Structure 1
Amino acid sequence: MKEELDSAVGRPADITDERIIEAGEALVRANRNVTGFALRKITGGGDPKRLKEVWDKHNVSQSVTNAEPVAELPVEVAETLAAMTKALVDKINALTVELNDKAVKTQERRVADVLRAAGEQQAQAERELADASQAVDELEAMLAEERSRVGELEKRLAEVLAADQAKAVELATLRERLEAVEKNAKVAGEQHVAEQVQFRQALADQKRAAQELAVERDKVKTELTKVQAKAEAAEESHKEERKRAATELQRVADKLIKLEAERDGAKGEAGKTREELAKLTGQLEAMKIQAAQLMQAIGNQQPEKTEKPKKV
């Protein structure tokens, strides 16, 4: 098939209808579309439009030639077909009239429904229009209020801008003051560092002094311990003396009580002489003097008690 196509290429420009038909059949056998340019490529020239027209005429003539003749119907069949056709046409006409009547009535009902719905929609639209009119009035009132608020906001905005300008000036002033404070703080920090160095030196000196004082305190504690031991020994000695003095004082007090009892008994006795009474009275006074001396001696010994030193 490819060889046939190749052999058809390069023919003279004067192309006959037969050659065009052969080229078209070759394209059909090659399962390619038959176009004017495809025919021209195979025939080697010619007007593509003319080539396509020749091929189309060939196809039409082939269709007419290949059409088989139709046999006529018998008379009985033709009459039966005509009767059935007439009956069918009459029935179709009746059905058409009936359907048309139903369609008209249906359409009338639909029109009535549409008119009723349109009336309801019109009433609804009128109500909505009234509501819309009221809403428009409310919106206009709200718009006027919003415009008033906008005016107030613009006024407040101008005030805020003025305040911001003042704050900007104040902020610039504060920044200058802050820079000055930071500069002073830097100087103060350097001075503080120097003072810390001096303080650390003084602290080291104080630590050394405290260590020396601790050594001295230990020495004083040692001496104080010795003094305390001596004081405790003296305290024990004073305790013994106070104990003996208290015993003697108790003995004198008991004797004094006895003498007073004897004196009272002597006063009750009418037969004793005044000399014995005077003697007893003298002894009583002597005992009182002795008791007073003992009390004075005990009182003199109390301040002489050595006070215990406090522990450091």
Structure 2
Amino acid sequence: MRPAEYTPEEIVAAGESIQAAGRNVTGFALRQRVGGGNPSRLRQVWEEHLASKQVAQAEPVAELPVEVAETVAQVTRALTERIAALAVELNDKAVKAAERRVAEIVRAAGEQREQAERELADAAQTVDDLEDRLEASRAEREALQQRFDQVSAESQRHKVELAQLRERLTAAERAAQTEAEQHAEALKVAGAQLDEVRQELRQAVVAVEGLRAELVTVKATAEAAEKSHQEHRKDAAREAQRCADKVVAVEKARDEQAKVAVAAREHTARLAGQLEALQAQNAALLEAMGARGAGGA
């Protein structure tokens, strides 16, 4: 059997404090005052306390013994009327005492009924309070469930976006790597071409110098043989013109090669700028992905 959680002294003290507050002492009121317990037991302890304070005054009804009546009848008939009057008086007192007892019982029953009604009202109020709390708990649980569903959906959406960002970042890194390799190869080819142009330019310079020396020799020979070899001078002039045209062609080729070298350097600079832009874009994507991951957590 489970032991009592609260002593009778605590229950009586709680009932007296409830009475001092001008409230009716009910089982639920006692339970709220002491902080727990069975309302029926609490009410029983309180009623036993009240009963111990009340002194029941029983009014015994004594019946007239037969022997006394016979003796009285034998003693004198004169006393019959007195005895009858005394009996009527005693009977009247007994009836009145019985009526008072019945009235007391009816009053006690009414008080018990009122007490039961008050306890029932307290119980109904407690049930209403519990139902209100239960309804509030249900509403709060539904709100929390909806919030949980929203957070779950948002988390799933963030996961999808993060996966997409990772795929885009991987594709961008691969494209950047491929383009960087292509650019490096192009730079390598441009460098080789530039070296070839430089080599050709050096060879062209040497050829031009040789042609100029040859032109000087030809001019000197032509001038020396101009009087006697007019036709040879014309041939020399044509040869000189040819050499000059060749020099012009070589210089033009040198200029074209120089333009190619400048274009290669500009293309290399553009490739370097594009590579820096791709690196900055990758850094921005990584930062955005980190920020989204921190926000989802």
Taking structure 1 as the reference length, what is the TM-score of the superposition? 0.29
Greater RCO, 1 or 2 (C-alpha within 8 Å, sep 6+): 2
> TM-score, normalised to structure 2's length?
0.30
Higher Rg: 1
